[in-house]
Amino acid sequence: MTRRPPPARLGFLYPGYAAEDDYPRMGAMLDPPAEIHLIHTEFMEDAHSVGALSEMGSVERLLQGAAFLEGSRIESVMWSSTSASFVLGLDGIRQQIDALEKRLGVPASTTAMAFARAVKAVDARRVAIAATYPEDVALLFRQFLGHFEIDVVHHSSRGIVTAAEVGTLEKEDVIDFARQNTPQNVDALLIPDTALHSAAWLTELEKATGTIVLTANQVSFWEALRLCGKLTPQPSLGTLFEEIP
């Protein structure tokens, strides 16, 4: 009889309230189910602007949230925000990761870095971006991907300012947005906002677009499992989870 591995114990620092229910949903979808520890971090302003995102992703804010994960026996921790990491650049991301690892003593990463690794994992050479952000923030995500020699052939900006509003978008709206921004001959579509629900619709998103779809909450969850060495093939979580390199 094969002994099942113990469940992963995953920590997530999530700014505010929007689509955080994606994480326990994905945890329950795993075999075996994961133990999820999710902490809501605080910030001054809910806005997709460089200034607000920089404050939201400051090391001080992350460490305030990390304090609530001490003693939780988590095996990895994610700063579950794409924009409040890439707006700070690679040096800022390194500072975020270093601070979390030193405070909690476990591997750490951010959603922005998870996107870069996930694109490489699925061997996507040409990608499109469907961003809910304003245009200036969407462009910064495109520039961030350029550091990893990821060829972005299309990007769109929905222009939504607050995470709270993004969190209200429903299934058909998200699928239509994805479909409208998937040009022919791309290897993957990237949807970079952890405020956007996607966990329940990953299979349908890939069917509607005809390509691999990588969403912010999906890649964050994948990265958390990868960091603690408990990433295994899983159904219903998209191509990213089907074959583990």
Q: Answer whether 48's CB lies under 8 Å from 194's CB.
A: no
Q: Which CATH number do you get for residue 32?
A: 3.40.50.12500
In a domain, 245, yes or no: no
Instruction: Name the residue with tokens 């030193």.
Output: 102
Q: b vs e for 203-226, b when ≥16 Cβ sit within 10 Å of the residue's Cβ?
A: ebbbebbebbbbbbbbbbbbbbbb
User: How confident is the model at residue 4, as a pLDDT?
Assistant: 64
Both 66 and 130 in one domain: the answer is: no
Both 79 and 29 in one domain: the answer is: yes
User: How confident is the model at residue 124, as a pLDDT?
Assistant: 97
**Calpha distance 133→119 (Å, rounded):** 20
ω into 192 cis (within 30 of 0): no
Both 228 and 210 in one domain: the answer is: no
Low-confidence ranges of the chain (pLDDT < 50): 1-2
In a domain, 79, yes or no: yes
User: How confident is the model at residue 6, as a pLDDT?
Assistant: 83
Both 138 and 103 in one domain: the answer is: no
Number of domains in the chain: 2
Q: What is the maximum alpha-carbon separation in the chain? A: 55
In a domain, 244, yes or no: no
In a domain, 55, yes or no: yes
Q: Which CATH number do you get for residue 195?
A: 3.40.50.1860
**Calpha distance 191→82 (Å, rounded):** 10
* Token digits of residue 121: 């994992």
In a domain, 143, yes or no: yes
In a domain, 3, yes or no: no
pLDDT digits (tens, 9 = 90+) for 154-187: 999 999 999 999 999 999 999 999 999 999 999 9
Both 146 and 228 in one domain: the answer is: no
User: How confident is the model at residue 243, as a pLDDT?
Assistant: 77
Both 66 and 157 in one domain: the answer is: no
**Calpha distance 145→164 (Å, rounded):** 25
User: How confident is the model at residue 104, as a pLDDT?
Assistant: 98
Both 135 and 89 in one domain: the answer is: no
Both 202 and 145 in one domain: the answer is: yes
Residue 143 is part of which domain span?
121-215
In a domain, 160, yes or no: yes
In a domain, 2, yes or no: no
Both 128 and 170 in one domain: the answer is: yes
pLDDT digits (tens, 9 = 90+) for 23-60: 999 999 999 999 999 999 999 999 999 999 999 999 99
Both 102 and 144 in one domain: the answer is: no
Both 24 and 58 in one domain: the answer is: yes
Both 16 and 102 in one domain: the answer is: yes
